[in-house]
Structure 1
């Protein structure tokens, strides 16, 4: 099966080769969406792991790894290439929504680490760690029984994940944590609803397990899945599943060199007839699409989000196809 994905969101505001067009006029965005043949720069603002999903209210909801909502953007923070202690990633989940990818409504900060289970159960960790060192990574929205569900991972103050449920389809407080601390430490958790209504959790690279209907825990044992053939790993993070043309499509993110922060941050996929596999060999989706979200627009066309993730500012486009990028991110 061949799978074609195009960039929709490119959050770098530089002249990198992710951004093929920086559009501001509504008619240009509409034309590019209709053409479906190039990257479309539809929103500015620093973000990693941009997750986009269509809600039951026909809005497209966007969230991702962000800096603090109070952080003023400067030339130094625009790319936020710092890692570890120098990272500007915050502990807040920021969110936006749109119906046309032209007008974006900010939903503010509807969720933070303080809404998750670890803030309540491990207060000593939070009290002993400065807030500027709290980290909320890779949040995602899902809609389960007319309620929005947030899943995310966090390295600090507690190395763990959260799965939190709101009381409606609006991402807003109060949040409950049905799995409690049993969710444990699961890197980049993602959810998938199968055709029979079963919800699955996907994490790492790659484990999957079915969830109980009330999301209180797993209803079965975790199963390790991945591509067959020579490369038996999807990568190292950002794994998710979609059902496309009757096939289970497992997406995963990895560096082109197989070494952390060396080369380009790419998106790969493998397919199967059964969610537990066996899966095909790993195939290439796109360069620089790592931890992007494959999604369908309102007319069914497939797109993928993209974002800046490098140790250096965006590179010039000239000769980018043949340039050796393996020495750095």
Structure 2
């Protein structure tokens, strides 16, 4: 395993950020905003910003950073990765890469623990796309022959005394969606195999699947588009039909990604990633309406895209895992699609990566794994500026 030093330079990062920002028409930062309704956000609120002390954990192109503490004293990290030398995973991925660390500072690569060619079954088949797309959302060249994997998460389930990985495939001839893998050795390094319910195709027909284990050992599958279902006791599949979470919606429903649930202070915390937008009146909000929404505030898709501001961590809480959940609140600006975990000392952290899709938010690094120190205020989580990764 190759040692990866957390202090290594992030070569070319300034150029990447500059390129993402070059197309902006308005480079002036927004002024402080008085929030007047549910769905609005003060994007300049100092308590919601990523602390300046946050730096990449190591230099590797990665999205959707996920970190959790295993049963062996190691922290395990994974996320969306591309092929060697590529800065996109839109069309191709090697599979699932894993890193580990004893202290969150010094990370070692465990390599590809689930390889499309070596370990996949139905997932290994290529999908021939007919969308005529030749570049991804960041103008990186892509092929129409696609075999990729997004947003993997590694979970040590105490009730199973084993490691499980949940991941998603956006395009596959056997169906698109999320699936769950089980370690055949009880070790994080695997090898991994499909659970019975996704032996021939996805367990769930959408991306960004997740798992949550409750205090009593009950495990739930959390699905994209606000869905959840209890898993069977042997983790072979779902024990009930998918149910819709009871949430407090905005006036217009935005596109929401990266659903993740964790528990703290006996409450369930539903974490989701939502884009904020600059509205026509200069305010910022999560609900301008998607391009296919007839009530959208930007009829022209180009105007809609040009006013995208930040990819945020938004949370709601509940006393019951199915809900009802509270009004959503913004936890961190610009750190969307992440997870929360507690370290060995009992401190809370949130992961991040820096979404490279062009927007109005200035950032010092993109598509690199990082963690943000967090603190609780009542039942809510916000960045902790008094603490950093030493």
TM-score past 0.5 threshold: yes
The question of 1:273 aligning with 2:319 is answered: yes
> Aligned-pair distance for 1:155?
1.2
> Aligned-pair distance for 1:131?
9.6
2: CA distance, partners of 1:233 / 1:249: 20
Alignment partner for residue 155 of structure 1, among 165, 170, 183?
A: 170
The question of 1:197 aligning with 2:217 is answered: yes
Q: Which residue of 2 aligns with 1:25?
A: none
2: CA distance, partners of 1:88 / 1:208: 28
Q: Residues 267 and 194 (structure 1 numbering): CA distance in 2 closer, same or farther, change over 3 Å?
A: same
Alignment partner for residue 188 of structure 2, among 166, 170, 176?
A: 170
Q: Which residue of 2 aligns with 1:118?
A: 122
1: CA distance, partners of 2:126 / 2:363: 47
> Aligned-pair distance for 1:175?
2.0
1:190–1:203 CA contact under 8 A, matched in 2: yes
2: CA distance, partners of 1:267 / 1:227: 16
2: CA distance, partners of 1:133 / 1:182: 16
2: CA distance, partners of 1:227 / 1:296: 25
Count of residue correspondences = 275
> What secondary structure sits across from 2:112 in the alignment?
coil
2:127–2:145 CA contact under 8 A, matched in 1: no
Describe the superposition over 1:32-77 as per-residue Cα deviations: whole angstroms up to 9, x where unpaired: xxxx994243222110001101000010000000011x32xxxxx5
Scaled by the length of structure 2, what TM-score is found? 0.63
Describe the superposition over 1:102-122 as per-residue Cα deviations: whole angstroms up to 9, x where unpaired: 2211111110345345237xx
Q: Which residue of 2 aligns with 1:139?
A: 152
Q: Residues 142 and 267 (structure 1 numbering): CA distance in 2 closer, same or farther, change over 3 Å?
A: same
Q: Residues 160 and 268 (structure 1 numbering): CA distance in 2 closer, same or farther, change over 3 Å?
A: same
Q: Residues 58 and 235 (structure 1 numbering): CA distance in 2 closer, same or farther, change over 3 Å?
A: farther
The question of 1:315 aligning with 2:353 is answered: no
Runs (5+) with no aligned partner, structure 1:
1-7, 17-35, 72-76, 318-329
Q: Which residue of 2 aligns with 1:93?
A: 96
Q: Residues 228 and 300 (structure 1 numbering): CA distance in 2 closer, same or farther, change over 3 Å?
A: same
2: CA distance, partners of 1:191 / 1:178: 16
> Aligned-pair distance for 1:149?
0.8
The question of 1:208 aligning with 2:255 is answered: no
> What secondary structure sits across from 1:139 in the alignment?
strand
1: CA distance, partners of 2:57 / 2:344: 16
> Aligned-pair distance for 1:90?
1.3
The question of 1:109 aligning with 2:112 is answered: yes
Alignment partner for residue 244 of structure 2, among 202, 212, 224?
A: 224
Q: Note the aligned Cα RMSD (angstroms).
A: 3.3
2: CA distance, partners of 1:51 / 1:124: 26
Please identify the structure whose Cα radius of gyration is greater.
2
Q: Residues 38 and 137 (structure 1 numbering): CA distance in 2 closer, same or farther, change over 3 Å?
A: same
Alignment partner for residue 56 of structure 1, among 50, 71, 79?
A: 71
2: CA distance, partners of 1:222 / 1:88: 29
> Aligned-pair distance for 1:124?
7.6
Q: Which residue of 2 aligns with 1:39?
A: 54
2: CA distance, partners of 1:179 / 1:37: 44
Q: Residues 283 and 92 (structure 1 numbering): CA distance in 2 closer, same or farther, change over 3 Å?
A: same
> Aligned-pair distance for 1:89?
4.9
Alignment partner for residue 66 of structure 1, among 81, 90, 98?
A: 81
> What secondary structure sits across from 1:179 in the alignment?
helix
2: CA distance, partners of 1:220 / 1:242: 20
